[in-house]
A = this chain, B = another copy of it.
Amino acid sequence: MNAPTVVDSVAALRAQVQDWRRAGLRVAMVPTMGALHDGHISLVRIALEQADRCVVSIFVNPTQFAPTEDLDKYPRQLARDLDRLREAGAHLAFTPSVGEMYPAGFATKISVGGPSSGLETDFRPSFFDGVATVVAKLFLQAAPDFAVFGEKDYQQLCVVRQLCRDLDLPVEIVGAPTVRDAHGLAMSSRNAYLGEAELDVARLLNVILRRTAGALSTGTDEAAATEDAAKALISAGFRKVDYVAARASVTLAPWQRNRGGRLLAAAWLGTTRLIDNVEIPSA
């Protein structure tokens, strides 16, 4: 595979994508914050199943971090990321600076209601404003035909779909299954913060969620099941559970038994916050 072309200006990004689209090529985008792992690479592969060209943005977006969060220590490893993108066959890497994305005087914010209510927002109040604003910008900068987002960040996927529907952004959103290690641990750039003993605990998150989703689908009371799951996470070694919650699959409104559902959780392992989610199977 050829190495991807690297551009760091909006003008160069636009020019390249416009050339491709004028030539009749179908263009996909995969927005990332870098520190690419097998989960991201699967998004690129899925993109390339349906697109002729794939743009990957690598931008650690400061507006989706709270002042107390890990913006400064968030892993950055561009050379390694570009190697992985070459292997995966991505065509263009867009690596803007903070100043390119947010020039002096920048002052606009997009707030998506609906699926952004609760869950992550209860603990990271302006997280999805930051995500929605940067995703809208990336889509308007690149003008891809479609974009691929992982189900790992399930609430984010729902918020981005709502954003595009509400603002008439002409970008199709493709959701991609979460990539997991052999023990079921969801790939995450933040797993790099975990030592071996912590990884053993982290691997129980998906086990407990799958068990709880199964219990919900076979009739266990919702409050009892999610409370048991939170207790099981603490017993397993998690320090704190932000939430374990059953929700409707698309709107993230309260789950209605016998309807499609998703079980979502966020929990702390030491100073690292992990999230995961699983489908609630129909009974």
Listed in ascending order, the chain A residues whose CB lies under 8 Å from chain B are: 10, 14, 103, 105-114, 132-133, 136-137, 140-141, 143, 162-163, 165-170, 251
What is the distance, in angstroms, from A114's C-beta to the closest C-beta of chain B? 4
What is the distance, in angstroms, from A96's C-beta to the closest C-beta of chain B? 11
Minimal Cβ-Cβ distance residue in B for A250 = B105
Minimal Cβ-Cβ distance residue in B for A137 = B168
Cα–Cα distance between A140 and B163 once the two chains are bound (Å): 12
Cα–Cα distance between A169 and B136 once the two chains are bound (Å): 9
Within the complex, which residue of B103, B105, B162, B169 is in contact with A140, where a contact is CB–CB below 8 Å? B169
CB-CB < 8 A to A141: which residues of B?
Answer: 168
A109 and B108 form a contact (CB under 8 A): no
What is the distance, in angstroms, from A181's C-beta to the closest C-beta of chain B? 35
A110 and B108 form a contact (CB under 8 A): yes
Minimal Cβ-Cβ distance residue in B for A140 = B168
A140 and B114 form a contact (CB under 8 A): no
